[in-house]
Amino acid sequence: MAHINQNFLKLPGGYLFPEIGRRVRAFEAQDPPRPLIRLGIGDVTQPLAPAVVEAMVEAAREMGHKETFRGYCEETGCAYDFLRFAIRDSYKAAGVDIADDEIFVSDGAKSDCGNIGDIFSGNNLVAVCDPVYPVYVDTNAMAGRAGEFDGEKWTGLVYLPCTAENGFFPALPAGKAPDLIYICSPNNPTGAAATYDQLKTWVDYANANSSVILYDSAYEAYITQPGIPHSIFEVEGARTCAIEFRSFSKTAGFTGTRCAYTVIPKELEREGVSLHALWNRRQGTKFNGVPYVVQRGAAAVFTPEGQAQVKATIDYYMENAAIIKVGLTAAGLQVYGGINAPYIWCAVPQGMDSWGFFDKLLHQACVVTTPGAGFGPSGEGYIRLTAFGSREDTTRAVERIKAIL
């Protein structure tokens, strides 16, 4: 008899987005049809940059000729030199020295953030920020590292509250030091971006306790303020305690195209073993790489034309973020984020909870948001809006919200 992984049965069953879907469908079924504006889900809407499309078309043609056809990518880090070198050079231009063979290219930061657990034992103590990108929590729950779900929290996880009081960046925990620490900056869902000093506190802590920081910088390209680190490796000491996840998804509209990368410094060791070597073994065994065509598209992001084109799209989204931020502030709401991230984290009006405000915005303004409570206990009292809509939808949604407050 085959035995299933019982940990899956502990998962509370994808509460957040299915529940939003249910409420949206119920609303659409009941009321006379009024067009909904969706500012809830974190997916991009603008097309791929022309430089990326051209590179992929040309690569597809190469695949159609015997002389230029490619099979398995047998190269270092499952990445062709042209992409690995381009990524290395982009770090270098930002003042960070990364060797090209410290870069592992993959099909997504979601997969890497989840799969990285393979190289760590089941009995590591895991810390997550609260609110949190659910992938970190659920993948550790599947691996048996989260204990039981008690209806609000996982008994085995360390929750690091991120609140208005601490500027949405976690303080060091008081008790036993966690072994694995997930930090996402710029943050989904709060939109907060960590400063150098904030990151340095955690880097020093991780080095002192032999912990590992799993650093998700999927939104680094959205940083607009100077002085905010784009990479954990800008921080002194990070090379001996951190793994960084990056993605082309939000940077260059690759959510449906799929390409990301993870950086593991060669000097990062635990129990005398190189984590770089373990991840290399893991990927070599369970992964056969990202399509050549997609890697060519990703490399085009780093060309001058590609850079200008993806920057224009990010600027467009960040203008949406400013429209939301200014509009909701004018409506009397307390609004956070939206400066270094495409997310606006909005405190709900007095006397309401996050699902209550979600319902009010859905029924009265016909705007779909995401209730903060779905991201963890400290998300209660907030809703998340995203800047990924069209300009027209964003402007109209803000007008509608202002009109009902």
Residues in contact with ligand PLP by CB under 6 A are 42, 108-110, 133, 184, 188, 216, 218, 247, 249-250, 255, 260
Q: Which is nearer to ligand PLP, 161 or 237 (CB)?
A: 161
The answer to whether the CB of 180 falls within 8 A of the CB of 212 is yes
- Single-letter residue type at 131: P
Which residue number places its CB atom closest to ligand PLP?
108
Secondary structure (3-state) at 239: helix
Q: Which is nearer to ligand PLP, 45 or 255 (CB)?
A: 255
Q: Which is nearer to ligand PLP, 216 or 393 (CB)?
A: 216
Q: Which is nearer to ligand PLP, 218 or 361 (CB)?
A: 218
Q: Which is nearer to ligand PLP, 276 or 384 (CB)?
A: 384
Here the tokens at position 1 are: 């008899």
Q: How far is the CB of 184 from ligand PLP (least distance, A)?
A: 5
Q: How far is the CB of 384 from ligand PLP (least distance, A)?
A: 11
Q: How far is the CB of 216 from ligand PLP (least distance, A)?
A: 5
Q: Which is nearer to ligand PLP, 136 or 202 (CB)?
A: 136
Dihedral sign computed on CA atoms, order 276, 280, 286, 288:
positive
Q: How far is the CB of 302 from ligand PLP (least distance, A)?
A: 17
Q: Which is nearer to ligand PLP, 120 or 182 (CB)?
A: 182
Burial tier of 325 (Cβ tally within 10 Å: 0-12, 13-18, 19+): buried
Q: Which is nearer to ligand PLP, 230 or 250 (CB)?
A: 250
Q: How far is the CB of 31 from ligand PLP (least distance, A)?
A: 31
Q: Which is nearer to ligand PLP, 270 or 375 (CB)?
A: 375
Q: How far is the CB of 359 from ligand PLP (least distance, A)?
A: 24
The answer to whether the CB of 205 falls within 8 A of the CB of 237 is no
Q: How far is the CB of 317 from ligand PLP (least distance, A)?
A: 13
Q: Where are the beta strands (DSSP E) in 85-141?
A: 103-106, 126-130
Q: How far is the CB of 111 from ligand PLP (least distance, A)?
A: 6
Q: How far is the CB of 196 from ligand PLP (least distance, A)?
A: 21
